[in-house]
């Protein structure tokens, strides 16, 4: 017998906003309307450090691109946040109710035995 797939519950904020409604335009409009432009500019200008690996010396197929060589020593580089990262920060900051919470872990069979 096939098991029924658990229905995906879509989280909705108090004002009816869903996570998929949060587009670039939505974030811009929200920040302007609610005086959060400074927050948005902070996100825009924030830089994060990441490990940049040198490109590999292996020959590349025609039209291919050289991949990173993770065996070499990385150098630290800086980059700005991507839109998706800013969107995550936006949801965390202004729509925390859209963040799914994990259900409490069910006790295992062995935990139940230990409690006897």
pLDDT tens, position by position, 25-79: 999 999 999 999 999 999 999 999 999 999 988 887 877 888 889 999 999 999 9
Q: What's the pTM value of the predicted model, to 2 decimals?
A: 0.65
- Find out whether 17 and 95 touch, Cβ atoms under 8 Å: yes
Whether residue 111 is predicted with pLDDT greater than 70 in this model: the reply is yes
- Find out whether 100 and 6 touch, Cβ atoms under 8 Å: no
Estimate to the nearest angstrom the gap between the alpha carbon of 99 and the chain centroid: 11
Q: Which pLDDT value is given to residue 43?
A: 96
Q: Which pLDDT value is given to residue 9?
A: 67
Q: Which pLDDT value is given to residue 1?
A: 58
Whether residue 3 is predicted with pLDDT greater than 60 in this model: the reply is no
Give me 100's structure tokens.
């799914």
Residue 103 pLDDT level (bands cut at 50, 70, 90): confident
Residue 92 pLDDT level (bands cut at 50, 70, 90): very high
Nearest to 94 by CA among 9, 19, 10, 25: 19
pLDDT tens, position by position, 9-25: 678 888 888 888 999 99
- Find out whether 68 and 56 touch, Cβ atoms under 8 Å: yes
């Amino acid at each position: 017998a096939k098991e029924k797939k658990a229905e995906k519950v879509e989280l909705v904020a108090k004002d009816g906003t869903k996570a998929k409604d949060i587009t670039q335009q939505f974030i811009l409009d929200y920040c302007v309307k609610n005086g959060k432009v400074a927050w948005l500019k902070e996100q825009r200008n924030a830089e994060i450090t990441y490990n940049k690996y040198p490109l590999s010396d292996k020959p590349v197929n025609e039209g291919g691109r050289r991949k990173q060589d993770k065996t070499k020593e990385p150098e630290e580089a800086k980059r700005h946040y991507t839109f998706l990262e800013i969107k995550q920060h936006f949801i965390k900051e202004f729509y925390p109710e859209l963040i799914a919470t994990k259900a409490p872990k069910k006790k295992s069979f062995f935990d139940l035995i230990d409690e006897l």
